[in-house]
Amino acid sequence: MIIVDECHRGSADLDSNWHEILEYFGSATQLGLTATPKETEDVSNINYFCAETDDKPLYIYSLKQGIEDGFLAPYRVISVELNIDKEGYRPPLGKLDIEGKPVEDKVYTQKDFDRTIVVEERQEIVAKRITDYMKENNCRYAKTIVFCENIDHADAMVLKLKNLNSDLVQENSKYIMKITGDDEIGKAELENFTEPNVKYPVIAVTSKLMSTGVDSETCELIVLDKTIGSPTEFKQTIGRGTRINENFTIDDEKKSKLHFTILDFRANYHQFEDPEFDGEPVAVMEVGEKGTFPKGSPQRETELEGKDKGNSKGHMQKVKVNGVEVVIEGEEVRYTDENGTLVKQNIDSCVKNNILSQYPVYNDFYAAFKVSDQKDFFTGELLIEPSYIKKVRESVGYYLDRFDIVGLVGYKKPPKSKEERLQKVYDSDILTGLDNEKREIIEIILNEYKKEDFSKLKDIAVFQLPVFKAKGYTPMKILKSVFDGNKQNFIDLMEQIEDILY
């Protein structure tokens, strides 16, 4: 048996370098595997591998099924519409580019931007929206891939993102890296980007190089600021985010990646609406009577996809303009529903689907919650984004634990206020066995729970609270005199209290 992985690369072409191997072992069973079957008028996987099965693959495993089975990450799409993308940009009469040359009088559309014309304000607002998203969702260290039109566009986006994230770039110069075919330094960082337990680079800016063959299993944000016309390339690009990693460590902190977000500035999400996007591949290529395949190597074509097209360095002559008003006219959030269809959906339905798809019944959720070492992170992943947690708390009118929000949204469980949960601790005998000073310290910390996530209170960093300083305590004094100089004594006590809370 011969197993050909990534068989869309060269198996269908008689002229490919290794096709003779398949012919030589023609009597062997040949099994082709691919996530992105290539079916065009010139290239066909099906006509080679499925010649004896009526042009039908032996086995199909869809993205939808992979998500349902828990092997692939569910996703949401945030489509961002800019005014000049929607309406087009027609330069005013006499408009000059940044070099002082007249700009052609025509209407430039979304497909022109960063290809034939560069509008600096458009690049700036895209970079700002990416940065704002990461700040708003407290994910500035989430692995992110930004796909650009070409190398010039990637260069510009790196510069603008670095300016907007100068604090983290100053912390580590590899926070943002350009990883394209022409950049040897960037390509050398590709392995670090894909390694789950390596912190930097965080943001990789690319064009085509990372759209295929990159196993970035901790990537949480895919940014599309390029028009992707090929369904195959679109599937490959989205595939950079579909990996799952339930357990990796950054800076000694345990993390997991269970879903991802697509931030789409070029309306690529419409490809999800194609009925064939996640369906059976259909043979398009016609084969002659003798069963020979047209010339043109898919292997060589895919190799070109790994490099930026254009001249040898991927650079093209473009018109560059500034002084253009560019604004975000609207954003829409889309999620995959229970049928795998991308739909506009309110956030409540999305969160509920996210919870129930992983834990169909409350007891399953509760069991997983109880054994989790990072309970707030665990529930945060189910509730998707901090803004939703804030929204629920505001609608209820009092502070809720994330645990109760999951119970309320996912299973319609009546929520307990944080005060009610604290009362369970006070009613137990856990505090009565403590000496007066230790009890005072713990009660101060428990009071903070009313407006803070409990996991943050289990760390000895909590000893730095201003209220302790006001009472004459220093972190070292608390640790030494109250907990005998052993932080584990404090952690063990807090974990006992946590068990009572829930």
Both tokens of residue 177? Answer: 């890296």
What's the confidence (pLDDT) of residue 59? 87
Contacts with 130 (C-beta within 8 Å, 6 or more apart), sequence order: 144, 146, 161, 223, 263
> What pTM does this model have?
0.70
In a domain, 408, yes or no: yes
Q: Are residues 376 and 428 in the same domain?
A: no
Nearest to 9 by CA among 43, 49, 55: 43
Return the pLDDT at 155.
96
Question: Are both 251 and 318 inside the same structural domain?
Answer: yes
pLDDT of res. 399: 84
**pLDDT at site 262:** 92
Which residue reads 């990534």 in tokens? 6
- Structural domain containing residue 384: 346-416
Q: Does residue 472 share a domain with residue 399?
A: no
- Both 423 and 412 in a single domain? no
Looking at the structure, do residues 205 and 263 belong to the same domain, yes or no? Answer: yes
What are the C-alpha distances in Å from 113 to residues 108, 159, 231, 469? Answer: 7, 18, 21, 56
pLDDT in tens, the chain (502 residues): 989 887 766 655 656 666 778 888 888 888 888 876 665 555 566 667 777 777 778 888 877 788 778 888 888 888 999 999 999 999 999 999 999 999 999 999 999 999 999 999 999 999 999 999 999 888 999 999 999 999 999 999 999 999 999 999 999 999 999 999 888 999 999 999 999 999 999 999 999 888 777 888 999 999 999 999 888 788 889 889 989 998 899 998 888 888 899 999 999 988 887 766 665 554 433 333 333 333 333 333 333 334 444 444 445 578 999 999 999 988 887 766 656 666 666 677 778 888 988 899 999 999 999 998 888 888 988 887 777 888 888 888 888 899 999 999 999 999 999 999 999 999 998 998 899 999 999 999 999 998 888 988 988 889 999 999 898 889 999 999 899 889 899 999 999 999 999 9
If asked whether residues 360 and 317 sit together in one domain, one would say no
Angstrom distance (rounded) from CA 208 to CA 148 = 8
Helix, strand or coil, per DSSP, at residue 71: coil
Are β-strands 75-82 and 260-264 bridged in parallel, bridged antiparallel, or unpaired? Answer: parallel
Judge if 364 and 483 occupy the same domain: no
Instruction: Looking at the structure, tell me whether residues 319 and 425 fall in a common domain.
Output: no
What does the block give as tokens for 84? Answer: 């000049």
> 337 in a domain, yes or no?
no
In a domain, 117, yes or no: yes
Give yes or no for a contact between 266 and 110, defined as CB atoms under 8 angstroms apart. Answer: yes
Same domain, 430 and 389: no
Q: Is the domain of 371 the same as that of 438?
A: no
Phi and psi of 178, rounded to 5°? Answer: -85, 125
Task: Give the residue carrying structure tokens 């006070």.
Answer: 426
Residues 246 and 210 placed together within one structural domain of the fold: yes
Q: Does any domain span residue 160?
A: yes
- Three-state DSSP at 344 gives strand
Q: In terms of domains, do 83 and 185 share one?
A: yes
Q: What is the DSSP letter of 350?
A: H
Q: Which two tokens stand for residue 213?
A: 């063959």
**CATH code where residue 232 lies:** 3.40.50.300
Number of domains the chain contains: 3
Work out the angle at residue 22's Cα, subtended by the Cα atoms of residues 19 and 24, and round it to the nearest 5 degrees: 110
| End residue of a domain, out of 416, 436, 462 | 416
400 domain residue, yes or no: yes
Residue after which a domain boundary falls, among 416, 446, 473: 416
pLDDT at 296: 33
H/E element, 32 = strand 30-32
Answer whether residue 488 is part of any domain. yes
- Which of 283, 302, 328 is the endpoint of a domain? 328
> Is residue 33 one of the residues assigned to a domain?
no
- Is the residue at 27 inside a domain? no
